[in-house]
Amino acid sequence: MHRRISRGILQAGRPLRLRHYRIDHTRSNSYSAWVAAGRPQDPGRGQRAAIRARAGLEMCAPERLVDPALEDLTVSFELPLPGVSLLEYEAR
């Protein structure tokens, strides 16, 4: 599913840092890692490490700086279903 998000920039003149996080079938999903490991009842050390690696919130795209001269910001991306994205804006 294609998504397009627009927002006004609240602090014109200051750069913004944009981070895009995702939870879907391949990112931030320890359940998928457990299934890929064969659904072990007692995961081995390597399997536990692979499952834990997917337990945190993972970035979907590289962090980027937004031009402070912009008045509006539009971000477009594909969102697999089921899935959810978190766009984090931080003034620098």
Edge-to-edge strand ranges of the sheet holding 84-91: 58-66, 16-23, 84-91
Which pLDDT score is estimated for 75?
85
Length of the chain: 92
Q: What is the pLDDT of residues 50-91, one digit of tens each?
A: 999 999 999 999 999 887 677 677 888 899 999 999 999 887
Which pLDDT score is estimated for 66?
83
| Of 43 and 3, the one with more pLDDT | 43
Q: How does strand 2-8 pair with strand 58-66?
A: unpaired
Report the CATH fold assignment for 2-91: Immunoglobulin-like (2.60.40)
Which pLDDT score is estimated for 16?
83
Supply the pTM of this predicted model: 0.76
Closest to 21 measured CA to CA, from 90, 86, 89: 86
Decide if 32 contacts 25 (C-beta within 8 A).
yes
